[in-house]
Amino acid sequence: MIRLENVTKSYSTEVVAVRDASFDVAKGEFVFLVGPSGSGKSTLLRMLNRQDRPERGAVWVAGRNIVDMPPGRVPHLRRNIGNIFQDYKLLLEKSVFENVAFAQEVIGRPSHVINQQVPAVLELVGLAGKEDRLPHQLSGGEQQRVSIARAFVNRPLILLADEPTGNLDPGTGEGIMRLLDRINKTGTTVVMATHDQRIVNTMRKRVIQLDRGVIVRDQARGVYE
């Protein structure tokens, strides 16, 4: 589903965010990217949805090298990739329903599809009955669930999560991880960048560890270290 071949990305001559990174992620796999701040986890995720482009190497997503993909094709790539962020990136003036529906509206889904799929995904993430609430009327965990619902409502092949539990207490974080695990079990590939040692050690999924942009460990059913 994902393949990186000798990918290097730098932001200046001194700052190399990712250096010569190569790995494969199979369809339906759950992968943690771990490492200290500035190790290149977020840059890797940004390259997977073409927010950033590497100077060298190839990034294959769903069978296509996206490095040289024409800009006009990028939106179609992103329709197959869901994104979850530490700060949720919810639209504060829109209700829970509208936030999730927004992801379908902007790709031109008809309203009868939206009215059918949004309640279903809100049910899946445990937010049924809270459709009309605004983000500020929700807890942090609930806001992250809205963000997950928005990322998953278009049934993407891949879910990219950048520190999704970073702003949450451990109990709430565990709930989010259970949700991501459920989504992963539907066949969606999940790549998650995290600092959260406890979560990584509990989940026992594949772990790719980065240090100053270099992959230093790639371990199946790994732990944080």
Partner 1 sequence: MWSRVRYTLRETFDSFRRNATLTVAAIITAAISLLGVGLTLLSQHAFDNLLSRWEGGVEMIVFMRPTTTPDQFDLVERVLGEQTEFIESFTFCDATCSLAEADRVLAGEPGVRDLLDESNITTQFKAVPTEGTDIDLLRQLSTAFEELPSVYEVKFAEDQISLISQLQSFFGFRLLLLSGFLLFAAVLLIWNTIRTAIFARRREIEVMKLVGATDWFIRIPFMLEGLLHGIIGGAVASVGLWAWNSQWTSGVKEFPANSGFAALVVVDGYDQTVMLIMVVIGALAGAIGSGIAASRFLDI
Long-range contacts of residues 26-29, Cβ cutoff 8 Å, at least 24 apart: 26/1, 26/189, 27/1, 27/157, 27/187, 27/189, 28/1, 28/184, 28/187, 28/188, 28/189, 29/1, 29/189, 29/190, 29/206
- Per CB under 8 A, does 170 bind partner 1? no
Interface residue with partner 1 among 20, 53, 56, 102 (CB under 8 A) is 102
Smallest gap from Cβ 110 to partner 1, in A, equals 5
What is the Cα–Cα distance from 11 to 28, expressed in whole angstroms? 31
- Measured CA to CA, the distance from residue 84 to residue 49 in angstroms comes to 12
- Closer CB to partner 1, 26 or 107, in the complex: 107
Task: Compute the CA torsion angle 76, 192, 214, 19 (nearest 10 deg).
Answer: 10
Distance of closest approach, residue 99 Cβ to partner 1, in angstroms = 9
Q: If binding is defined by CB under 8 A, does position 106 make contact with partner 1?
A: yes
Piece of the chain touching partner 1 by CB under 8 A; list 28-36, 108-116, 122-130, 181-189 = 108-116
Residues 53-72 binding partner 1 (CB under 8 A) are 71-72
Among residues 15, 26, 107, 128, which is the contact residue for partner 1, using CB under 8 A? Answer: 107
Angle, helices 111-124 vs 96-105, to 10°: value is 130
Indicate which single residue of 15, 26, 91, 120 sits in contact with partner 1 (rule: CB under 8 A).
Answer: 91
Cβ proximity to partner 1, 82 vs 222, nearer residue: 82
CB atoms within 10 A of CB 132: 10
Figure out which of the listed residues 110, 129, 170, 187 binds partner 1, where binding follows CB under 8 A: 110
Q: Is 103 in the site for partner 1 (CB under 8 A)?
A: yes
Instruction: Give the Cα separation of 209 and 204 in Å (integer).
Output: 14
Residues 15-34 that bind partner 1 (CB under 8 A): none
Binding-site ranges for partner 1 (CB under 8 A): 49, 51, 71-72, 75-79, 83, 89, 91, 102-103, 105-111, 114, 150, 154
